[in-house]
Structures are given as structure tokens and as C-alpha cells.
Amino acid sequence: MINKVIFIMVFVLGGIVVFAQQNTLTVNIIGINSIKGDAYVYLYTSENGFPIEISKASRFKKIKVTKKSLTAYFENMETGTYAVSVFHDIDANGKINQNFLGIPKEPVGVSNNAKGFMGPPKYEDAKFLVETKKTIEIKLSEE
């Protein structure tokens, strides 16, 4: 009898652990004006590097731009706080083209559609919580 109770507890708790790791983030990207190039979607778990240092993103997706809106999925996410940055690499050169002041010449956007003041948006303004399935929408800036 005790073995059956332990087995049931382990089975139920194991199911909870698996369920907790099944969080999915859906990122809908809108405001695409040019149907060419690639969109890069970067997922950050802290303010470290957000949104410019893409090497510090915890995950990323590259999506071929074939229509005026795109969707990226991040699966098996742990419950936590995240922020997302997106850039549309129109010329498909793998980098964000910038003017002489460092301002992007290609469309960009971040979660919560946060805007920067005298610089890029802050993680604090772009962060959101993922506890279950979550869908966010990011509108890209004009070129």
C-alpha cells in the first residue's frame, strides 16, 4: 500500500514538473513593410546586454520574411521574466544597419513595444512574465 502511494505521488509530482516546463511564448511581429530579408527574434532573461548585445540573448530565432506579419515560438520555457528584441534585416547581411549616430536604419522593436529615450529601450520597460502559454505582439519601427 505504501509503495502504491509513493508511486502515485512521484507520478503526480513528475507530471507537475513536466507541465511547468511546457511554457510556450508566441511572439507575433507586425508592421513589416518590406517583404524581403530575415527577422531576428532575441529572447533575454535579464537586462544584461538587452537589447543590443545579441550574443547575451538566451535564445534566438531567424525567420525568413515572406509576409507582413510573422510569428516566432519559444517552447519549453521555464517560468520567469523575459524581454524580447526583434530586428528586420532587410538586406540579409546578418547585422543591423545603423547611421553615424548608431541609430538603426532597419526596423526594430521590443516587447511591450517599449521605446527608448536618448538610447535603446530599457529591459525594465520591456520585461514580462511567462507562467504558462503567453502571446505578445511587437510592432516594428518604421525604416
Q: Give the Cα-Cα-Cα angle 43, 126, 41 (nearest 5 degrees).
A: 30
pTM attached to this predicted model? 0.83
83-122 confidence digits (pLDDT tens): 999 999 999 999 999 999 888 999 999 999 999 988 999 9
| Three-class secondary structure of residue 85 per DSSP | strand
| C-alpha angle 36-76-80 in degrees, rounded to nearest 5 | 100
- Which three cell numbers, joined as nine digits, stand for 132? 504558462
49-63 mean pLDDT: 96
> For residues 69 and 3, what is the distance between their CA atoms, to the nearest angstrom?
54
Q: What is the pLDDT of residue 81?
A: 98
Find where cell 506579419 sits: 69
By the 8 A CB rule, do 75 and 124 touch? no
Helix (H) or strand (E) holding 11: helix 2-20
